[in-house]
Structure formats: structure tokens, C-alpha cells
Amino acid sequence: MSLFWIFSRQSFYQQSAYRLNFWLEIAGVMLQIYVVYKLWNVLFEQTPQSFGGVSLPQMITYAVLGMLIGSILNTGEGVHTYIQQQVRMGQITTDLMKPVDFIVHMMARDFGSMITRLVFLLVPPLAISYLLFDMVIPTSPLRIFGFVVALAQAWVILFFCNFMFGLISFKTLDLMGFSFTYFALVRFASGQIVPLWMYPDVLQPVLNFLPFKSVFYTPLAIYNGVLTSSSMWTALLTQTAWMIGLFVVARLIWGRIHNSLIVQGG
Amino acid sequence: MRENMTIYLTMIRAAVLTRLEYRADFVMGIIGVFILNAGTLATSWVLLSRFQNLHGWTFWEIVFLYNMWLLGHGIRAVFFRHINMLEQFIVEGTFDQILTRPANPLVQFLGREVHYLGVGDVLLSVFMLVLAYHNLGLNWPWWMFGWLIVIALSSAVVEMAITLLLVSTSFLTTRSRALVNSASLFSWGVVQQYPVDMFGKLLRNIVTILLPFAFMNYYPSLVFLGKQDVVPWGFLTWYAPVVALILLFLAISMWNYGIKRYQSSGS
Amino acid sequence: MALIEVNHLRKEFKRIIPKTGFLSGIRNLWNTDTHTHVAVDDISFKVEEGELLGYIGPNGAGKSTSIKMLTGILVPTSGDVKIAGLTPWKDRRAHTQNIGVVFGQKTQLWWDIPVIESFRVLKTIYKIPDELYTKNLNQFRELLELDQFENTPVRQLSLGQRMRADLAAALLHDPKILFLDEPTIGVDVLAKERLRTFIKEINRTRGVTVLLTTHDMQDIEKLCHRMAIIDDGNILYDGSIDALKSKFGNERTLVIELDDAPYRLNLPGTRILREEGTRVWLAFNRDQFSASDIMMRVAEHHTIRDLTVEEPEIESIVREIYEGSHSGRKREDEHVPVLDLQ
Ligand SMILES: Nc1ncnc2c1ncn2[C@@H]1O[C@H](COP(=O)(O)OP(=O)(O)OP(=O)(O)O)[C@@H](O)[C@H]1O
Ligand SMILES: [Mg+2]
């Protein structure tokens, strides 16, 4: 377990080294927050009845937090881009020779960068948003607890999705074309921008069938109070199920790839 | 001018040959571009099938707005995508070589690469613009189609010139990537899919004056969609090509200034 | 008037000194403390038409920086350069028609396309007339055996082939002067020999003036009539190689093979450099003694089987000059880290 922290810390330092980028990135995040804030304000003014009982502050909270979580749980860069890079440079073998399980190593790296982003890119803009906008604060300890658990599980789920996506590069060397598809799919099906309850009914079965709902929608809807008590527990358990399921599948696939790598000598 | 054109075309030929070496990526890339844009449009569709309009813009009007942007963006991506990478050209010494040759450095730099992903953007956007035209029941006079081509080119120039302007700071600092990335957020994060009139004055002014990305799609679309009387700044709809030319002038000046500074500072 | 005239050339680079300590990351965002680094201090020399000048010096001496100023890439802080009557950075366009440049570290050809296609682009850029282009190309095909790989993309070429292609590319437009920055870097012995022959040939038959930098003394010995040694941005030596040898290298080495090893003598005026098996290396000052003096004195006590006199190697002379230039002063900027502003 201590190795986990070593890899995490290394990744944390690497990321916090980019100074100028940091300020510009914060500015970029604030811009995006303003855009979604304005978007929902305009829509709410137009037709408040279309929100189905959800208040404007609840909606703003969902959107702002969705934007911010999007910058820490992201599909643009992560374990998959790392794997692809290593495979293409032919350096994946150095990772395999490390005295840690590959999946644990990758998780540690990802955890480090997630925490860095959480500290630098989520907390400050969130604080600013609370000062500027009218947003809801989860008061009940149960809801806060639910949110934290949901967020942690969301990270694990997205990690395994990214991980398995990254494994494609062992076959193709390049992820370029696929990554657009993956990126678009996660963005659309996770409810990061538009909450899933607003999607047309025809799409609901498909959305329920994909793990991405658990990544953004679940923590966000718990935070802003759309999912409460029993529906919250259901959502959390669904997440746990996805987590375990994806873990098992990832292990299986990785085991196969790993074996064939050893056979071919890297 | 003529000489520059000859050199540019010869270099483009070499750049195309380079791309052809990587033919396999082509199809995958185009499909990827289609899906990426389809994803963004699908989100707009979900939103507008629930709310009917966004600040007075219907779904198909948003589609038009989006694809106006995509068309200009695609054209610029085919020919000028690599201007974002000036930093690399400088660090790797490619730029020094450009300076040891008798042709204009900007022409040599621009002619260095072409990119196929933009081809997907262009194809998709033309297709979607036609769809939007039909679904909106538009009926333009003939000259409007000519104007659309002018606007498509001027959109490409607007985006290219803003990027070139910002990236020329590489000559002074060698690091411009973060700056360019943040600035382009005003392009793909703001004007791309949202009608600018829904935002506050500050943001509107930024995308009109400071980083005038709104001239890529929002202002030109006003006349195409017959909306120029709806907003008080409707007259700006005719100014996109002028803005493009001014930006191009500024970008080239900044570029030349940057080269001078580079030659005396070496970094 | 000489073809190249360099007068008191100087180039300073400004670097930002990063802050350290409390909140250094944040304070660096508006940090403007700079440190001036002198890459080229004060360099003057002349090169006549048709000369082949070798430009050597340790890493960081300022060779590449000088070449960048002579080719018009960089503007010097002060000083003046006239090449064929032009100032490189002021008359950059006209000047580039007169020169050909090869940076050994990086190809100037298009990476992914066949060599011949790169040549075509260069033909347009330099506005090379058809006959000249064909004539030159045919000649280089012969001299450099370009036809073996002219249809191969550069990324698939070996380093030696790439260097040949680069040399040809730099000469297509018939430049008066050729600047070569480490043209033999990473190339094997045979390929080096071939590159040298080519450069020599071009210099002889076309009268192209060549200025080259290298870390390989063989390049200098085999190619150059004249060499300039530069360190810390100053010229330490400028002259012919023979003159350098006689000026600095007055020590000769006598290698004696004995029948009755080991060597037992301690002759005044000689120094034992090394002993190995039956052989011994004796260094002596040739201004004081002749080789035959020493040989005879050794023969009084030993039976000599074989003997040779070794000329001083240029390499060791140069090493001594580098070392001499360093022992005197400390390099002033050794510990200044460079701020990476990303
Ligand atoms: N763009 C630059 N900015 C700051 N310092 C520079 C720059 N270019 C070179 N230098 C510095 O100037 C000095 C001379 O560098 P130069 O590249 O001329 O050396 P060189 O003689 O070519 O060395 P080498 O044999 O290693 O190629 C070095 O200390 C180098 O760090
Ligand atoms: Mg050098």
C-alpha cells in the first residue's frame, strides 16, 4: 500500500509543477462555469415549468459542479492516454517490470493526478462560485456522506472505463479515432452537462444500461438533492455493482494481454 | 505575392505527400470527427427538445450556428492546424532552418503541414448546413450562397489569425500553449454552440472585440437566419470579412515583431 | 576584401533567474530578474574565398551561436559581420541565396517524404533554374550515391545517408559558402570518410568556402587548411594545423621496443609516458634533443629491436588548450538554473 502513495505523490508533484498553466486553467474553468450558469438561467427564465420541480439554485449547483467534476474525472487525459503513450514509445515494459501490480500502479498514478486536480481545480473555483451564485449547500450529513461515497466510486468506475479503453492501444497502437468516440459518448451519456432526467424517455433504457450514468449523474444528483433517501441508496449500490463488475472484467482482459505480452517478450 | 503563392503551393504538395504516408489514420480520424460533433449536437438536441428554444434560437438555428463555426474551423484545421505548434517548431530548431532560406518565413511556416481531420469537419458541416436550411424552410436569394462562401473563408481566417497572433508570443517566451488553449475556450466553449446574445455584456464584448471569435458564426448567422433586426447589433453581420482582414493584419504584424525579437533574444 | 569578415562579434542571452523559497511558484509568475549569459564574447576573424575553416571548441563554447549569427538566424548583441558584402541578419534574404547550411543535429529535409521531393521544394524556394538543378543533382547522385535512397522517406534513412542527403540539399542552389554545424555527428568511420571526401571535392572543384564545426579532430586534420579554437565565446587559436603543432606540440614521443625489457634508465630530458610489455614510450622536447640522440643513449645500455617516433596528436594538443583555458577562470554561470516558465 505504501507504494500506492509513492506513485500518487509523484504524480501530484508532476502536475503541480506547471505554474502558468495553473492560472490560465483556473480562468478557463471559471469561464466555463459562467457559461453553464448563464445557460440555465436563460432556460429557467423562459420555461420554469420544464424543470419538473427542480429549483434554479439546484440546477445551477448541478451544472457548476458537473463542470468542475468534469475537470477532475476526465476522459481527455488519464490512464488511457498514459497507456497509449507508453505502448507507442515501446516503454510499457518498464512499467511491467515495476514490483507492483500494473492496475494498482495505474490507479495510484490516476489517484495522484485526481487529487491534484481536486485541490487546485475544483476547490478554488467552487468556493468562488458559492460567493457569486445562488447555489444549494447539502446540509444533511447523510447527503454529504452519500456525495463523498458517490464521488469516490465514480472515480473508480471511470478509472476502469478509461483503463479498458486504454488497453485498446495494445491492439491498435493509436487511440486517436477511438478517443473522439469515447469522449463524445461519456460526455453525452453521463449527464455531465444536461441532467439525465431531462433526456427524452426513449433514451432512458440506454442510459441506464451504461456505466457512465454512475460517473456524473449519481454524485451530482445526490449533492443537489434530487436523489434522496431510498433512491440515493439504490444509486450508490448500482455504482458499487458497476465498480465490481468493471474491476472483474478489467482484470480478466488485462490478464490475457499481460500473458500474451510475456509470451511475445514485450 | 506570386512568388509566395508558388512556394506555398509547392510546400503544400510536400505536406500532402506527408499525409498520404499515414493513410490509415484518415478514415478513423474522419469517423471520429463525425462522432465527436454528433455528440455535441445530440446534447443540444436533448436540451432543445425539452425547452423548444434557447434565448429565441430553435434547435435547427443552433445547428446552423454550430455548423457555420465548424465549417470555418474545419477549413482552418485543414491548412493551419499546425500554427498551434509553433512552440515545437522553435524548440526543435525547425524554425531556424526556415530562417536560413530565402523565402518568407510565414509562408514557409504555413506551408509546412496539412491535416485531414479538418476534412471531416468540412464535410459534416456542409451536410448539416444543408439539413438546417431545409428544416428552417429558408429561402435565400442567390447571392446569399456566394456570401456564405465568403463567410466560410473569413471564419477560417478569423480563427487562424487569432491563433497566429497569440502563438507569436512563443517568439518572446517559448511557451504559448497554455495561452492559446485558454483563449480558444472562448471559441469552442462559448461561440461554437451558444447564441452570444444570451450572455452578459462583458463576455459579449470579449468575443466581439478582444478575441472576436463571434465573427466566425454568430454575427454572420444573423443575416443568414433573418435575425439581424432582432438584436441592436445586427448591422455587425456584414463586418465579418472586414474583421478577418484586420485580424490578419494584426497577426502578421505580431508575427513579424516576434521574429525580430526572436532573432535578437534567441528564445 | 575577404569573403567573410567578422569583427568583435558578441552575443548575450538573457535568462530569468527563478526565485526559490517561500511561495516561489507564485512569485515566479511576475519574476523578471534576469541574468545575462555571454555565449559569444568577442570574436573576430576573416575567411578568404575557397578556404576550409574548422571551428572547434568544447560543448557550450559558442560555436553554434556563432554559426547562427553568420547565417542570419540570430542578430548579435554587438559587432559586425560582412559576408560577400552583406550583413546576414539585415540582408537575410539575399544572404541566404549565398549560403548553404547543414545542422548535423537536425535534418532540413521533410521527414516523411522521399528525399527527391524535398529537393523539389528547395528548388522552388531557392528559385533554382532547371539546368542548374539537373546538373547539380546528377553530380551529387554520382559523388554521394544518392540514387540508392533518393526515393526513400528521410525517416527511414541511416544517419550517414541522411547526412549525405542534407549536404546535397544545402548545395543545390550553388552557394558560395557552406556552413556545417557538426556534419559528422553520429556517423560511422567509413561514412565519415566519404563525407569528408565529398566536402573536400566540393571545396576544390567548385571553390565553395566551407566553415565547419566538429568535435572530431580527424575532420579537422583531414579537411581543414585552417582551424579556429573557441572557448567561452573567445578565440583561443586561429591558424594552420601545422603551426599549431609546432607552437604547442614541441614534444615528441619515441616508442622503443627492447629485447631486454624492462627499461632501466632515467635519461635527463626524457619522461616515461608508459610501459607496456617490451615497449616503452619516452617523451622529449624536440627543440633540445633529436630522436637519434636519445636512441643512441638508450642503445648504450639496452638492445633495441624496433623504434618509431610519434608526432604529437592534434587531439591531445587541443585537449591541453581546452584545459588551460578552463583552469584559469571559473565559468561564471555554472550554477544558474534556468526557469522553465511552463
Ligand atoms: N537560445 C538560447 N538562450 C539562452 N542561452 C543559450 C541559447 N542558445 C545557446 N545558449 C547558451 O550559449 C552557450 C553557447 O552555446 P552554443 O550552442 O553556441 O555552444 P556550442 O559551442 O555549439 O556547443 P556544442 O558543442 O555543445 O554544440 C551555451 O552556454 C548555451 O547554453
Ligand atoms: Mg553546437
pLDDT of C125-170, one tens digit each?
Answer: 999 999 999 999 999 999 999 999 999 999 899 999 999 999 999 9
What ipTM goes with this model? 0.90
Choose among A132, A162, A102, A168: nearest CA to A41: A132
Q: What is the mean pLDDT of residues A40-54?
A: 90
Looking at residue A12, its pLDDT comes to 60
- For residues C142 and C119, give the distance between their C-alpha atoms in angstroms, rounded to a whole number: 16
Q: Ligand 2 centre and the CA of C173: distance in Å? A: 25
Q: What domain count does chain A have?
A: 1
CA distance linking residue A73 with residue A78, whole number of Å: 9
Domain that holds residue A126: 2-259
Span A123-165, pLDDT tens digits: 889 999 999 999 999 888 999 999 999 999 999 999 999 999 9
Q: How many angstroms from the chain centroid is the CA of residue A187? A: 10
Note the pLDDT of residue B174.
64
Which pLDDT tens digit goes with each residue over C27-37?
A: 555 566 778 89
- Residue A266 pLDDT: 43
Using the beta-carbon criterion (under 8 Å), do C342 and A21 form an inter-chain contact?
Answer: yes
Do C106 and B263 lie within an 8 Å CB cutoff?
no
Q: Which residue of B has its CA nearest to C39?
A: B266
Is the domain defined by C250-311 classed in CATH 3.30.70?
A: yes
Cβ–Cβ gap B10/C121 under 8 Å: yes
| Predicted local distance difference test score (pLDDT) of residue B178 | 82
Cell of A77: 487525459
| Residue B198: Cβ within 10 Å count | 18
Residue B267's pLDDT is 58
* Ligand 1 pocket, residues with Cβ under 6 angstroms: B 266-267; C 13, 15, 37, 39, 57, 59-65
Q: Given a cut of 80, is residue A15 above it in pLDDT? A: no
Is the Cβ of A207 closer than 8 Å to some Cβ of chain B?
Answer: no
- What integer pLDDT is reported at residue C329 of this predicted model? 44
Of the two residues B2 and B147, the one the predictor is more confident about is B147
The alpha-carbon gap from C341 to the nearest alpha carbon of chain A, in Å, equals 7
Which chain A residue has its CA at the smallest distance from C31's CA? A20
Q: Which residue has the cell 633529436?
A: C290
> What are the pLDDT digits (tens) for C44-92?
999 999 999 999 999 999 999 999 999 999 999 999 999 999 999 999 9
Segment A36-57 mean pLDDT: 91
Query: Which partners does chain A have (≥3 C-beta pairs < 8 Å)?
Result: B, C
Q: Which atom of ligand 1 is nearest to the CA of C58?
A: 25
Tell me the average pLDDT across B150-168.
97
A96 lies within 8 A of chain B by CB: no
- Beta pairing, strands C226-231 & C52-56: parallel
Residue A266 falls inside a structural domain: no
Number of Cβ within a 10 Å radius of residue B113? 20
Cβ of C342 within 8 Å of Cβ of A20? The answer is: yes
Predicted local distance difference test score (pLDDT) of residue C338: 38
For atom 5 of ligand 1, the residue with the nearest CA is C13
CA angle, corner B215, sides to B38 and B104, nearest 5?
100
Q: Coil, strand, or helix at residue C46? A: strand
3-state secondary structure B94-155: HHHHHHCCCCCHHHHHHCCCCCCHHHHHHHHHHHHHHHHHHHCCCCCCHHHHHHHHHHHHHH
Residue in chain B lying closest to C95 (CA): B102
Grid cell locating C220: 579537422
Please state, in angstroms and rounded to a whole number, the distance separating the CA atoms of residues A166 and A160.
10
Give the Cα separation of A22 and C113 in Å (integer). Answer: 39
Task: Say if residue A239's pLDDT is above 80.
Answer: yes
Please tell me if residue A228 touches chain B, with a CB cutoff of 8 Å.
no
Is B25–A177 a contact, with Cβ atoms under 8 angstroms apart?
Answer: yes
Q: Compute the count of residue pairs across chains B and C with CB atoms less than 8 Å apart.
A: 85
Contact A47, B51 (CB under 8 A): yes
d(CA A227, CA A125): 24
Nearest CB to C117 within list B6, B17, B108: B17
- The pLDDT score that the predictor gives to residue C18 is 64
Mean pLDDT of C172-197: 93
C64 CA distance to ligand 1 centroid (A)?
7
Phi, psi torsion values for A156, nearest 5 degrees: -60, -45
| Residue C290 clears pLDDT 50, i.e. is over it | yes
**Strand B53-54 with B57-58, pairing:** antiparallel
Q: Is C29 on the interface with B (CB under 8 A)?
A: no
Ligand nearest to the CA of C56: 1
Q: What is the mean pLDDT of chain B?
A: 92
Confidence category of residue A121, pLDDT binned at 50, 70, 90 = confident
If one residue of C64, C69, C211, C236 were mutated to test the ligand 1 pocket, choosing by the most ligand atoms within 8 A of its CB, it would be C64
Residues of C in contact with A15 (CB under 8 A): none
Q: Say if CB A21 and CB C342 are below 8 A apart.
A: yes
Residue B196 grid coordinates: 452570444
Q: Is C80 helix (H, G, I), strand (E, B) or coil?
A: strand
> Does the beta-carbon distance from A39 to B194 stay under 8 Å?
yes
Calculate how far, in angstroms, residue C234's C-alpha sits from the geometric centre of ligand 2.
15
pLDDT(C336) > 50: no
Mean per-residue pLDDT for B187-198?
Answer: 94
- Is the CB of C98 inside 8 Å of chain B's CB atoms? no
Q: Closest-lying ligand to the alpha carbon of C36?
A: 1
C280, three cell numbers: 616503452
Q: How confident is the model at residue A75 (pLDDT cuts 50, 70, 90)?
A: confident
- Gap from C188 CA to chain B (nearest CA, Å): 24
Using an 8 Å CB-CB cutoff, list chain B residues near C75: 263-264
Q: How far is CA A54 from CA A35, A51, A68, A204, in A?
A: 20, 5, 20, 19
Distance (angstroms) between ligand 2 centre and the Cα of C111 equals 22
Contact A25, A170 (CB under 8 A): no
Distance CA B258, CA B2 (A): 25
Q: Does A34 touch chain B (CB under 8 A)?
A: yes
Distance between Cα C64 and ligand 2 center (Å): 4
For A155-174, how does the pLDDT look when each residue is reduced to its tens digit (9 = 90+)? 999 999 999 999 988 887 66
Closest CA of chain C from B103, distance in Å: 6
DSSP designation for C86:
B
Instruction: Give the three cell numbers for residue A75.
Output: 476522459
Please give the full DSSP string across A17-35, using - where no structure is assigned: T-HHHHHHHHHHHHHHHHH
CA C87 to ligand 2 center in whole angstroms: 22
- Residue B123 confidence (pLDDT): 94
Q: Which residue has the cell 623504434?
A: C307
3-state secondary structure A31-85: HHHHHHHHHHHHHHHHCHHHHCCCCHHHHHHHHHHHHHHHHHCCCCCCHHHHHHH
Residue C289 has pLDDT above 60, yes or no: yes
Residue C342 reports pLDDT greater than 60 = no
pLDDT number for residue A11: 61
Using CB atoms, which chains have 3+ pairs under 8 A with C? A, B
Span B47-76, pLDDT tens digits: 999 898 999 999 999 999 999 999 999 999
**pLDDT (mean) for B257-264:** 88
What pLDDT, on the 0 to 100 scale, is given for residue A262? 64
Identify the CATH assignment for C4-245 out of 3.40.50.300, 3.30.590.20, 2.60.40.1930, 3.90.420.10: 3.40.50.300
Does residue A265 fall inside a structural domain?
Answer: no
Residue A253 in domain: yes
Which among B101, B174, B263 has the least Cβ separation from residue C96?
B101
C124/B10 CB distance under 8 A: yes
**Ligand 1 mean position to C159 CA, how many Å?**
23
Provide the pLDDT for residue C23: 57
**Percent of chain A, pLDDT > 70?**
89
pLDDT digits (tens, 9 = 90+) for C234-279: 999 999 888 887 776 677 788 888 888 788 777 777 878 778 888 8
User: Which of C73, C78, C105, C156 to mutate against chain B (most B CBs within 10 Å)?
Assistant: C73
Q: Give bridge partners of residue C11 from the DSSP assignment.
A: C40
